[in-house]
Structure 1
Amino acid sequence: MGSIPTWFADAWRRSERLIHLAVVPLVTALLAFEKVQQALSVAGPGRFHAGVAIRFPAVVVDLWSFVSLPSVGPGVRVTSPLWLLPIIFVVHSVLAAGYLGSISDGLDDGRYDFAAAVERYFVRLVAYNALVWTVVFAAVVLGVLTGPLVLLLFPLFLLLNYLFFATPYLIVARDTSVVAALRESYARAVDGGPYFEFALQYLAAVLVLSIPTTLMAVNAGPVGILVAAAVTARVGLAFSTGVMRFVHQRTRGPRSD
C-alpha cells in the first residue's frame, strides 16, 4: 500500500465520478438525531469541547465518523422518540445498500443503478445493521448496569471494529452472505498484512481530520453541524470509495449471482 495522501488522492479521484452519492452521508449524518442532540448540548457561552476520533470504516462514513462527541453531563437529556428508531433503521439500511452497491459498481466507470443496488443488498445489510444495533444496545444496557466500568468496553469495541469493519463492503464486493463476509473479514484481520496496514492508515487519517471537524460540529451550534455535515459528506464518500477499492483489490474469486 502507498502512503495516506496517495491512498486518499486515488479515492478522491475515483469518487468524483460518484459525486451525487454524497447526499447519502449527508442524510445519514442529519438522521442521527441522538448525536446531533449530543453535539448541541455543548454549544453555548463558556462551553468548549475538543477531541479526536479513533474509528475504523463505518457502513456509511459520514460526519459522526470524524467527531469526538462529548459525554452527556448531569441534567442533559439526550433522547430520540422510540417510534423513530425502526424508521431510521430501515432508512439507513436502504441508503447503505444503495450507497455501497453503487460505489462498488461505479468504481471504474462511474456507472451505477442505486435502486438495483438497494434491491440486491437491502436484506443482507438489514441483517448486518441489526447485528450491529444489537451489540450497541447490549453495550448501552451494560453501561447502565456497570456505570464507569463501561469505559472498559472501549478497547473491546475497537477490537471488534477492526476485526469486522470490512464486512458490509465484502457483502457487496463479493455479493456474499453476512456470515461469509464476517468470516472473511475476521480471517483477513487476524492475518494482518495489508488489512492491518490499511486499518492503521485509515485510523491515522480519521484522527487528523477529526480535530477540526470536532471543533466545528460540537462548538458552533446548528450551523456548525450543517457545515461540517456537508463538508464531510464529500470526504466520507471518498473514504468509503477508498475502502471499497481496497476490498476489491484484496478479494479474490467470482461474485455470486
Structure 2
Amino acid sequence: MAPASDPERPPDDDPSTTTDGDDGVNNERSRPFQRHVARVSDRFGDLQLFGVVPLIAALLEFEKVRRALESTGRGFSLNLEFAFPSPLVTLWQLVDPPDPATATTRSRYGEPSGAPAFGDAPGETTPAGGSTTPVGTTGSGGTDVTIETPVEAVDVPLEALTAEMMGWIALTLAAYAVLSGIVMAAYVGGLDRRLRGEPTAVGSCIATYAPRFVLYNLVLFGAFLLAFPVFALAPALLVLAVPVIVALSYVFYPVPFLFVAADAPFLEAFHRSLGLTMAGGAVLSFGLWHLGAAAVASLVLSLLVSSGGAAVLLALLASAPLSLVLTAATVSFFREDVVGGAENSTSGPSNGDPGASERDADGWTAD
C-alpha cells in the first residue's frame, strides 16, 4: 500500500519551471540596453516631443549644416563614431560633414557635444588645387588653429593666439556651458519625469539640476582648455591621449545621469560613477552596447550626410528620434536598475524590471 501523502507538505517544485524562471530573469538582467531601449520605444508616444531638442541643437550648428548641404557631388564619407551615453546626443556627435571628396573612415573620441573644436595638425594635406600653406601663415611653416563656432570656422595662426584671445575663448566656452547646461537639465530631467508618469515641469527641472549640469560642462571645457596648449605644441601627444580620453569617457559617463536619477550632489555623482564603472556589470554592458549602437548609426547617417541636399534633412530627421531613444534609455536604466526609482514612483515597480524587488533601502540594486 502506498504511504499516505502528508497534507502539510508542499508539493515539490518543478525543477524545470524554476530553472527556466531564473534563466529568464538572469537573461533580462544581462541585457539592460536592449530592455530599456524596448521600454522607451513602447513609451515613445509620451516622449516624442522631446525629439525636438536634439533636432534644434543640430540645426543650430550652422557651420556644420552648411558644410553638409554643400557636400553634394563631392563623393561620400564614412564616419565611425564610438560614443558613450551623454545627456544630449545630436547628429553632429555621430557624423562630421565631409571635407575631402574621397571616402574616409574616421574615429573620434571624447569631444564634448557642440563644443568648439580645435585642430589642424602640422602637415595636414589640403584638397587638390588648394594652397599647401596653412591659411593665415606666411609660408614659414606656421600652424593654424581652427576654431569651429556654430556660425563659421575661423583659422587663427598659432603664434597669433594671445592671452586676451584665450580669455575670450574661455568666456565663450563658459557662456556655452551655461546655456547647454540649462538645456540638458530640462531635457534629461523632463525625460526622467515623463518616464515616471509625472508632468515634465521644465522650470522645476532647471532649478533643481541646471547648476550641476553647468558646473559639469565647465569642468569638461576647463580640462579642454588646459590640455589644448599642450596638444597644439606637440600634436603627437594626441595619439597617446586617445586611450586616456576613452577611459575617462567610460569612467564618468554616468555622472550627468546620476544628477537626475539619484539627485546626487556634484562630487558624490563623480564618486558613485567611479564605483559603478569600476565594478563593471550592467553599467559596463550598457555602455558597450551604446558604443556599438552609436557606431552603427554613425555609418548609416554619415552616408546620408555626405550625399548632401535632401539627404542631409533626412539624416537630421532620422537622428532626432534615435538620439531621443538613446538618451531616454540611459535615463531609464539609471533610474530603474541603478538607483531603483521605480519603487518610489506612484505606479510601483516596473513589470519590466526584474531587479526591483532586490533593491536596498537606499534604492541601489543589490549585488
TM-score, normalised to structure 1's length?
Answer: 0.85
1:1-257 superposed matches below 5 A: 1-2=30-31, 5-33=34-62, 35-36=64-65, 40=68, 43-67=71-95, 74=126, 79-80=148-149, 85-109=173-197, 111-217=199-305, 219-221=306-308, 223-248=310-335, 249-251=337-339, 253=362
What amino acid sits opposite 1:55 in the alignment?
A
**Alpha-carbon distance, 1:236 to partner:** 0.9
**Contact 1:42-1:48 at 8 Å conserved across structures:** no
Identity of aligned residues (%): 25
What amino acid sits opposite 2:208 in the alignment?
R
Higher relative contact order (CA 8 A, sep 6+): 1
| 2-structure distance, mates of 1:137, 1:170 | 25
| 1-structure distance, mates of 2:212, 2:363 | 18
Distance 1:159 1:69, change over 3 A: farther
What amino acid sits opposite 1:188 in the alignment?
L
What amino acid sits opposite 1:105 in the alignment?
R
**Alpha-carbon distance, 1:78 to partner:** 5.4
| 2-structure distance, mates of 1:182, 1:66 | 25
**Alpha-carbon distance, 1:229 to partner:** 2.4
**Contact 1:14-1:108 at 8 Å conserved across structures:** no
- What CA deviation, in whole Å up to 9, does each residue of 1:217-257 have, x standing for no partner? 2x1336544432222111111111110111112125269xx
Flag structure 1 segments of 5+ consecutive residues without an equivalent: none
Distance 1:34 1:157, change over 3 A: farther
Flag structure 2 segments of 5+ consecutive residues without an equivalent: 1-29, 99-105, 107-119, 127-133, 136-145, 152-168, 341-361
| 2-structure distance, mates of 1:64, 1:141 | 25
What amino acid sits opposite 1:21 in the alignment?
F
- Runs of 4+ aligned residues of structure 1 deviating over 6 Å after TM superposition are none
**Contact 2:68-2:97 at 8 Å conserved across structures:** no
| SS of 2:43 mapped into structure 1 | helix
| 2-structure distance, mates of 1:5, 1:230 | 23
**Contact 2:32-2:282 at 8 Å conserved across structures:** no
| 2-structure distance, mates of 1:125, 1:222 | 35
| 1-structure distance, mates of 2:222, 2:63 | 17
| 2-structure distance, mates of 1:89, 1:246 | 26
Instruction: Return the index of the structure with the highest Cα Rg.
Output: 2
| 2-structure distance, mates of 1:35, 1:139 | 24
Distance 1:146 1:118, change over 3 A: same
**Contact 1:55-1:203 at 8 Å conserved across structures:** yes
What amino acid sits opposite 1:208 in the alignment?
V
- What CA deviation, in whole Å up to 9, does each residue of 1:54-91 have, x standing for no partner? 11011212212322566865468553275764443332
Distance 1:149 1:43, change over 3 A: farther
| 2-structure distance, mates of 1:138, 1:159 | 19
| 1-structure distance, mates of 2:234, 2:65 | 26
**Contact 1:94-1:122 at 8 Å conserved across structures:** yes
| SS of 1:59 mapped into structure 2 | coil
| SS of 1:147 mapped into structure 2 | coil
What amino acid sits opposite 2:302 in the alignment?
T
| 1-structure distance, mates of 2:69, 2:237 | 24
What amino acid sits opposite 1:114 in the alignment?
V
**Alpha-carbon distance, 1:119 to partner:** 1.4
